[in-house]
């Protein structure tokens, strides 16, 4: 946080509480004024109700004076009719005489003697509730003769202590309108007279529109409940939000409501808030200007110190210029002295570092060279040891062949030679796996049947004292692997577990689907199959674990292992685009886990391995012409006669260019079988690519003992060296049949 911000926060810490206090004070004053104002409004509504009571009492007094008239004692009402009709009544008013049953006997709105309705008047219902001697004031009703809204006041006519008839004065509600208008309410305020039923009797605004209408439900409930006075917040009939201060008349039971718009009530508080906010903004603006000026003067020395520190970080020597501020001048002087000292120490340190780096580089080069020589020695020594054993076997067999004529002994010698060759082939397969060479015979497989097939071999690799448990998920993902390499990997891992356990223990082989996550973060995103071999043996130390996958590295005694088991498993995982991980703690066992990526579909380019062609029909023999391409003369000299003996028409080529020349000369070949690794610009893969493009009717079989290239040429079959004549014939026949459409 910089100084400018700190100064601003300090000022705000002082100003904001002050303005909050001011706002509270303003609100308090406003609240007090609102209470006083509410009391005034309630008093005004009460005064208006008193005015209505006075008006109704005047009408009652007029009726009682008229009820005492001697003309009512005459046999007929003719004289009384003349007297009543001549009275100076309010406009739209009428005097009505009714008998005790409520039947009208006289109405000054119609000529005397005219027929009147023989039904009880509207006042009679109120009379029945009030009693025979009480003054009755009705609610608003629609007069059938006058065709307008009226209300009536009725008194009894009493003679000799007996009620003889009733005298009523019907008054048009428009006579109450001036009473409201004379109150001279402020603009926007609305005065309303409401009868006991909640109907509007008079209104200062839009009386012609709302007289006779029932008020809204919330206010109506309070009126019907008989509340004497109060405040009601709601919406008027013309849709204005108001605070209605109401008072109930004691004489009539009518309610006078004084509606004040809420906007006007709240305007003082809003104006005060706006005024206070304006003052706050102006004061804050002035404070920000002052803070900016003061902070600029305060920050300048600090910025100078920061720049000096940055120059020191770049190795420059800094000098200090005083600013007149004691604290910053002291820091600046210390920085100046420190920069000079740092420059001296830096020069001395650089000289020492140069000497140390030179010595470390020499030591590192010597260490790397020693490690390379050690690894190379182990690699060449292991290869030499195993291949010398094979060569020794073959050498002894050749010497015996020269001295033996017995057919049975010759067959035994040939079988021994084949075993030695198989052993050499297995050794080279392990070396290719370690080298992470992509094998050509990858297949889309379900691991469950593969493990079921190889499980007898796995169990036989363990003694009875070691328990083997196999756990496999029911629905495994498909994977694309070399099946033979996978079987060899499982066998190598179980043999390693057996040697680590010793006398007795258990080994668990588990295969399950795995979701992405550690340690799979180094691989492409996707799903995997986890193959895990766990044992409860001796485990590995940290040093042994670091070198476990190195070729020919072994902790077993002489003759007990080649050191290629884990390196072959590591190479298999790399070939399959997966990952091998080893968890081991000395004294607590080892778990080797291989993650194989999920394969959703078999690509068109994956060729079936030669082993899949073992069950083939009769050889096409003379029907099939073969172009055999290999740069090794010994291989050509041995394989061509062998294939010719099988009935193939064989022609040889020593290079890819020579093979293309033979094809381009017009000679048609059914199958081209070629080595992958050959000198020149055209190796086996390029030859296959051009054959498929230029000579699509010719099938291609590729053979290799080692290659760092991937075959990605569609349905191209593959042979792994060393291969037998039977394997070559099977591959040729299958390729030929495929081109001929034979299934």
Helix/strand/coil (H/E/C) assignment for every residue in 153-204? EEEEEEECCEEEEEEEEEEEHHHCHHHHHCCCCCCCCEEEEECCCCEEEEEC
Angle between helices 262-313 and 326-403 (to 10 degrees): 70
**Residue 468 is part of a domain; what is its CATH number?**
3.30.565.10
685 in any annotated domain: yes
Question: What local confidence, expressed as pLDDT, does residue 167 receive?
Answer: 92
What span, in angstroms and rounded, lies between the C-alpha atoms of 248 and 226? 8
**For 105, phi and psi rounded to 5 degrees?**
-110, -15
What is the rounded (10 degree) CA torsion for 197, 199, 204, 209?
Answer: 180
pLDDT above 70 (res 679)? yes
pLDDT above 80 (res 168)? yes
Q: Are residues 576 and 445 in the same domain?
A: yes
Residues 6+ apart with CB under 8 A from 31: none
Lookup: tokens for 713: 């040429």
DSSP reduced 3-state for 631: coil
Residues 6+ apart with CB under 8 A from 720: 429, 439, 440, 441, 610, 703, 704, 705
Question: What local confidence, expressed as pLDDT, does residue 607 receive?
Answer: 40
Range among 43-47, 521-525, 659-663, 701-705 with highest mean pLDDT value = 659-663
**Contact assessment for residue 427 and residue 382, using Cβ atoms and an 8 Å cutoff:** no
**Contact assessment for residue 625 and residue 741, using Cβ atoms and an 8 Å cutoff:** no
**pLDDT one-digit tens code per residue, 713-743:** 666 777 777 788 888 888 888 888 877 764 4
**pLDDT one-digit tens code per residue, 106-127:** 888 888 888 888 888 888 889 8
**Contact assessment for residue 701 and residue 684, using Cβ atoms and an 8 Å cutoff:** no
92 in any annotated domain: no
Share of the chain above pLDDT 90, in %: 12
**pLDDT one-digit tens code per residue, 325-345:** 777 778 877 877 877 778 778
Query: Does residue 519 have a cis peptide bond before it, meaning omega lies within 30 degrees of 0?
Result: yes
Domain boundary among the residues 567, 597, 627 is at: 597
DSSP reduced 3-state for 256: strand
pLDDT above 80 (res 433)? no
What span, in angstroms and rounded, lies between the C-alpha atoms of 136 and 354? 121
Q: Are residues 564 and 625 in the same domain?
A: no
Domain boundary among the residues 566, 597, 628 is at: 597
Strands across the sheet containing 699-704: 649-653, 625-629, 671-675, 699-704, 717-720
Domain boundary among the residues 569, 597, 625 is at: 597
Q: Are residues 559 and 671 in the same domain?
A: no
Q: Are residues 645 and 559 in the same domain?
A: no
Residues 6+ apart with CB under 8 A from 189: 204, 258, 259, 260, 261
What pTM value is reported for the model? 0.39
Question: What local confidence, expressed as pLDDT, does residue 382 receive?
Answer: 55
DSSP reduced 3-state for 278: helix
Q: Are residues 705 and 663 in the same domain?
A: yes
What span, in angstroms and rounded, lies between the C-alpha atoms of 579 and 568? 13
What span, in angstroms and rounded, lies between the C-alpha atoms of 188 and 179? 18
Question: What local confidence, expressed as pLDDT, does residue 564 receive?
Answer: 66
Burial class (CB in 10 A: 0-12, 13-18, 19+), 689: middle
Average pLDDT over residues 76-89: 87
Residues 6+ apart with CB under 8 A from 331: 305
What is the rounded (10 degree) CA torsion for 517, 523, 529, 530?
Answer: -70
**For 68, phi and psi rounded to 5 degrees?**
-90, 5
pLDDT above 60 (res 206)? yes
669 in any annotated domain: yes
Q: Are residues 621 and 728 in the same domain?
A: yes
Question: What local confidence, expressed as pLDDT, does residue 532 receive?
Answer: 92
Q: Which of 49-58, 294-303, 314-323, 554-563 has the lowest mean pLDDT?
A: 554-563
pLDDT above 50 (res 259)? yes
What span, in angstroms and rounded, lies between the C-alpha atoms of 164 and 156? 8
539 in any annotated domain: yes
Angle between helices 656-664 and 684-694 (to 10 degrees): 20
**Residue 656 is part of a domain; what is its CATH number?**
3.40.50.2300
Average pLDDT over residues 453-476: 85
Lookup: tokens for 115: 């027929």
| DSSP code, position 723 | -
Pure H helices in 188-325: 207-210, 217-224, 262-313
Q: Are residues 465 and 589 in the same domain?
A: yes
Question: What local confidence, expressed as pLDDT, does residue 365 receive?
Answer: 65
732 vs 295, more confident: 732
Lookup: tokens for 423: 């052993």
pLDDT above 70 (res 710)? no
What span, in angstroms and rounded, lies between the C-alpha atoms of 619 and 457? 33
107 in any annotated domain: no
Q: Are residues 577 and 463 in the same domain?
A: yes
Closest CA to 485 of 457, 522, 443: 443
Domain limits for position 514: 435-597
Q: Which of 103-117, 171-185, 369-383 has the lowest mean pLDDT?
A: 369-383
Helix, strand, coil percentages for the chain (3-state, nearest 5): 50, 20, 30
Closest CA to 144 of 119, 111, 165, 113: 119
Closest CA to 98 of 56, 58, 126: 126
The structural domain count of the chain equals 2
Q: Are residues 591 and 631 in the same domain?
A: no
Lookup: tokens for 380: 């060449």
Question: What local confidence, expressed as pLDDT, does residue 437 receive?
Answer: 45
Question: What local confidence, expressed as pLDDT, does residue 721 receive?
Answer: 77
352 in any annotated domain: no
Q: Are residues 445 and 593 in the same domain?
A: yes
What span, in angstroms and rounded, lies between the C-alpha atoms of 540 and 572? 22
Q: What is the CA radius of gyration of the chain?
A: 58
DSSP string, 223-236: HHTT--EEEEEEE-
**pLDDT one-digit tens code per residue, 614-672:** 333 445 444 689 999 999 888 888 888 888 888 899 999 999 999 999 888 888 899 99
**Contact assessment for residue 95 and residue 108, using Cβ atoms and an 8 Å cutoff:** yes
Q: With bands split at pLDDT 50, 70 and 90, how would you rate the model's confidence at 533?
A: very high
**44-71: string of b/e by CB count within 10 Å (b at 16+)?**
bbbebbebbbebbeebbebbeebbeeee
405 in any annotated domain: no
What span, in angstroms and rounded, lies between the C-alpha atoms of 478 and 480? 7
Question: What local confidence, expressed as pLDDT, does residue 711 receive?
Answer: 63
DSSP reduced 3-state for 442: coil
Q: Please, what sign has the CA dihedral across residues 80, 82, 83, 86? A: positive
What span, in angstroms and rounded, lies between the C-alpha atoms of 24 and 86? 66
Q: With bands split at pLDDT 50, 70 and 90, how would you rate the model's confidence at 137?
A: very high
Lookup: tokens for 402: 């020269």
What is the chain's mean pLDDT, rounded?
80
**Contact assessment for residue 252 and residue 52, using Cβ atoms and an 8 Å cutoff:** yes
Q: Are residues 493 and 624 in the same domain?
A: no
List of E strands, 494-624: 505-514, 528-535, 579-584, 590-597
What span, in angstroms and rounded, lies between the C-alpha atoms of 67 and 90? 18
Average pLDDT over residues 337-363: 79
Q: Are residues 446 and 592 in the same domain?
A: yes
Which CB contacts under 8 angstroms, 24+ apart, belong to 117-120? Answer: 117/144
Closest CA to 492 of 533, 451, 441, 435: 533
544 in any annotated domain: yes
């Amino acid at each position: 946080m910089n100084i400018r911000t700190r100064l601003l926060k300090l000022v705000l810490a002082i100003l904001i509480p002050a303005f909050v206090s001011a706002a509270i004070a303003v609100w308090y004053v406003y609240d007090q004024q609102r209470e006083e104002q509410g009391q005034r409004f309630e008093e005004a509504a009460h005064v208006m109700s008193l005015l209505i009571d006075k008006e109704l009492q005047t009408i009652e007094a007029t009726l009682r004076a008229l009820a005492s008239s001697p003309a009512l004692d005459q046999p007929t009402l003719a004289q009384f009719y003349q007297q009543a009709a001549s009275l100076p009544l309010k406009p739209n008013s009428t005097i009505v005489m009714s008998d005790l049953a409520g039947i009208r006997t006289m109405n000054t709105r119609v000529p005397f003697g005219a027929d009147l309705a023989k039904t009880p008047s509207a006042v009679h219902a109120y009379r029945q509730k009030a009693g025979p001697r009480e003054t009755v004031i009705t609610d608003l009703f629609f007069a059938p003769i006058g065709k307008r809204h009226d209300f009536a006041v009725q008194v009894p006519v009493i003679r000799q202590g007996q009620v003889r008839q009733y005298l009523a004065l019907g008054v048009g509600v428009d006579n109450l309108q001036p009473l409201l208008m004379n109150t001279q309410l402020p603009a926007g305020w609305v005065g309303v007279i409401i009868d006991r039923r909640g109907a509007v009797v008079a209104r200062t605004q839009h009386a012609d529109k709302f007289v006779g209408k029932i008020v809204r439900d919330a206010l109506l409930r309070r009126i019907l409940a008989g509340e004497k006075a109060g405040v009601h917040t709601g919406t008027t009939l013309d849709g204005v939000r108001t605070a209605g201060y109401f008072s109930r008349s004691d004489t009539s039971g009518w309610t006078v409501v004084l509606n004040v718009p809420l906007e006007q009530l709240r305007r003082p508080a809003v104006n005060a808030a706006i005024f206070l906010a304006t003052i706050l903004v102006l004061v804050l603006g002035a404070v920000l200007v002052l803070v900016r000026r003061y902070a600029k003067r305060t920050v300048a020395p600090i910025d100078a110190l920061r720049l000096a520190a940055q120059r020191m970080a770049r190795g420059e020597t800094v000098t200090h210029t005083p600013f007149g501020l004691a604290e910053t001048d002291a820091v600046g002087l210390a920085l100046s002295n420190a920069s000079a000292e740092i420059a001296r120490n830096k020069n001395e340190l650089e000289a020492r570092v140069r000497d140390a780096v030179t010595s470390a580089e020499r030591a590192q080069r010597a260490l790397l060279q020693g490690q390379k020589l050690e690894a190379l020695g182990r690699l060449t020594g292991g290869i030499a040891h195993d291949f010398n054993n094979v060569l020794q076997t073959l050498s002894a067999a050749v010497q015996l062949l020269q001295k033996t004529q017995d057919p049975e002994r010759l067959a035994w010698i040939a079988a021994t030679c084949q075993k030695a060759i198989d052993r050499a082939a297995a050794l080279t397969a392990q070396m290719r796996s370690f080298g992470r060479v992509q094998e050509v015979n990858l297949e889309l497989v379900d691991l469950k049947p593969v493990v079921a097939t190889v499980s007898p071999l796995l169990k036989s690799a363990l003694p009875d004292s070691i328990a083997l448990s196999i756990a496999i998920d029911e629905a495994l993902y498909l994977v694309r692997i070399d099946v033979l390499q996978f079987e060899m990997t499982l066998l190598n891992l179980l043999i390693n577990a057996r040697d680590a356990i010793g006398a007795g223990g258990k080994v668990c082989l588990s295969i399950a689907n795995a979701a992405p996550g550690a340690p799979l973060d180094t691989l492409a995103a996707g799903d995997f199959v986890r193959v895990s071999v766990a044992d409860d043996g001796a485990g590995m130390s940290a040093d042994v674990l670091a070198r476990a996958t190195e070729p020919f590295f072994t902790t077993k005694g002489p003759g007990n292992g080649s050191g290629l088991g884990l390196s072959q498993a590591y190479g298999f995982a790399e070939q399959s685009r997966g990952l091998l991980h080893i968890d081991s703690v000395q004294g607590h066992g080892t778990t080797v886990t291989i993650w194989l990526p999920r394969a959703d579909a078999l690509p068109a380019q994956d060729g079936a391995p030669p082993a899949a062609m073992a069950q083939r029909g009769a050889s096409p023999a003379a029907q099939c012409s073969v172009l055999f391409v290999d740069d090794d003369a010994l291989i050509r000299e041995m394989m061509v006669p062998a294939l010719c003996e099988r009935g193939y028409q064989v022609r040889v080529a020593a290079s890819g260019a020579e093979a293309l020349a033979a094809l381009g000369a017009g000679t048609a070949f059914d199958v081209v079988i070629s080595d992958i690794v050959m000198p020149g610009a055209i190796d086996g893969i390029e030859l296959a690519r051009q054959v498929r493009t230029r000579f699509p009717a010719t099938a291609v079989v590729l053979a290799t003992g080692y290659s760092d290239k991937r075959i990605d040429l569609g349905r191209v079959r593959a042979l792994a060296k060393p291969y037998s004549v039977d394997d070559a014939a099977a591959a040729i026949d299958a390729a030929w049949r495929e081109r001929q459409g034979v299934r």
